[in-house]
Amino acid sequence: MERLLIFAHGSADEAAQAAADEVAELIKAFIAFRGGCRWALAGGRTPQPLYRALARRDDIAWEQVHFFWGDERCVALDDPQSNARMVREALLDHLPVAATQVHVMETWRGGGGAAAAHYEGLLGRVPLDLVLLGMGADGHTASLFPGDGALACGSGLWVSEAKAPAPPYERLTLSVAALRAAREIRFLVSGADKGPALAQVVAELSTGQALLPAAQVALGRATTWHIDAAAAAQLGPDRARS
What is the chain written as a DSSP string? --EEEEEEESSHHHHHHHHHHHHHHHHHHHHHHHSSEEEEEP-SSTTHHHHHHHHT--SS-GGGEEEEESEEESS-TTSTT-HHHHHHHHTGGGS---GGGB----GGG-TTTHHHHHHHHHHTTPPPSEEEE---TTS-BTTB-TT-GGGGGTTT-SEEEEE-SSSS-EEEEE-HHHHHTSSEEEEEE-SGGGHHHHHHHHHHHHHT---SHHHHHHTTSEEEEEEEHHHHTTS-TTT-B-
| Closest C-alpha to 194, from 143, 146, 241, 234 | 234
CB-based burial label for 47 (10 Å; 0-12, 13-18, 19+): buried
Amino acid identity at 171: R
Amino acid identity at 228: D
Domains of the chain: 3-232 (3.40.50.1360)
Q: Residue-wise pLDDT tens for the chain (242 aa)? A: 468 999 999 999 999 999 999 999 999 999 999 999 999 999 999 999 999 999 999 999 999 999 999 999 999 999 999 999 999 999 999 999 999 999 999 988 766 689 999 999 999 989 999 999 999 999 999 999 999 888 877 667 899 999 999 999 999 999 999 999 999 999 999 999 999 999 999 999 999 999 999 999 999 999 999 999 999 998 966 666 65
Q: Please give the C-alpha separations between residue 205 and each of 29, 106, 219, 228, in angstroms, as whole numbers.
A: 28, 34, 6, 20
User: Residues 221, 205: contact at Cβ < 8 Å?
Assistant: no
Residue 1 has a pLDDT of 45
Amino acid identity at 127: P
Residue 31 burial (CB count, 10 A): 18
Task: Record the pTM.
Answer: 0.95
Q: Whole-angstrom Cα distance, residue 108 to residue 141?
A: 22
Residue 34 burial (CB count, 10 A): 12
